[in-house]
Amino acid sequence: MHSTDANAGRVLLIEADPSVRRVIAQRLQREGFDVRQCEGDGEIELLLRDVRPDLVLLELPRVNALAPLERLRQASDVPAIALLRADLDADHVDALEAGADDYVSKPFSPRELMAKVRGALRRAGTPTRGDRLEFDGLTIDRRTRQVLRDGEIVAMPAREFDLLAYLAWSPGRVFSRSQLLENVWDSSEAWLGAATVTEHVRRLRQRIEKDPKQPRWIITVWSVGYRFEP
């Protein structure tokens, strides 16, 4: 079980496969969500009471696939996304009719899942830290894709905004250039050199830092990479 900033929204993740559970949890935590993990739905009513999640990600079992969803709906109206396997005795229509707000079919991409998570929370009217961050004189809004410094809009190309948002949504965490290439560019050093990240950081500092040579926000961690300093 892992916790981050509860203001980001709390997700209850019920998934039997530990490797899948780890990948999903890491992506959710990277996006700022508070993730509570469980490998089975045997005590789903207790989990809902104790965790009080804003969203449930629920793997449906191979047999009696809809039973956990039905128990979930008897206990709560919390938004739920069903994680579907190929060998279920039910399909996605059955899952939706049983009470799922949305679904993803395995194998799915982390980006697809995050889009579903944010969509379900928006429809439920649940505020998430994913929409807007405010620091001392710096505001980043992913919904409008705007950055404000001291109340004034900073013109910013799309890739630089993506880089800033990715760093800022995990404040204090150090990311290597290869991690940034993978998660911001969807690429690797085999295709794009690490210098690509270095150059974009330089340009980004020119836009948001009062003194780019002594940055306040985007800090270089020598021999490792960069971090956003809240």
Looking at CATH, the fold of the domain delimited by 6-124 is given as: Rossmann fold (3.40.50)
State how far the Cα of 63 lies from the Cα of 144, in Å rounded to an integer: 43
Closest CA to 229 of 218, 221, 220: 218
| pLDDT at site 157 | 92
| pLDDT at site 124 | 73
What CA–CA distances, in Å, run from 24 to 12, 36, 158? 11, 11, 26
pTM: 0.55
Provide the 10 A C-beta neighbour count for residue 62.
12
189: its two tokens: 């050093």
Whether the Cβ atoms of residue 8 and residue 128 lie closer than 8 Å to each other? yes
Looking at CATH, the fold of the domain delimited by 132-228 is given as: Arc Repressor Mutant, subunit A (1.10.10)
| pLDDT at site 7 | 47
Closest CA to 204 of 178, 223, 228, 171: 228
Whether the Cβ atoms of residue 209 and residue 164 lie closer than 8 Å to each other? no
User: Tell me: the pLDDT tens digits for 61-90?
Assistant: 888 889 999 989 888 889 999 999 888 888
| pLDDT at site 6 | 40
Helices 67-75, 44-51: axis angle to 10 degrees equals 40
Whether the Cβ atoms of residue 137 and residue 149 lie closer than 8 Å to each other? yes
Domain boundaries, the chain: 6-124, 132-228
Q: Does residue 199 sit in helix, strand or coil?
A: helix
HSE of 63 in the Cβ direction (CA atoms, 13 Å)? 0
What are the counts of helices (DSSP H) followed by strands (DSSP E) for the chain?
Answer: 8, 12
Whether the Cβ atoms of residue 80 and residue 101 lie closer than 8 Å to each other? yes
Whether the Cβ atoms of residue 82 and residue 39 lie closer than 8 Å to each other? no
Phi, psi of 36 (to 5 degrees): -115, 125
State how far the Cα of 192 lies from the Cα of 19, in Å rounded to an integer: 28
| pLDDT at site 206 | 96
The list of the chain residues with pLDDT below 70 reads: 1-8, 125-131, 187-190
HSE of 2 in the Cβ direction (CA atoms, 13 Å)? 14
| pLDDT at site 128 | 54
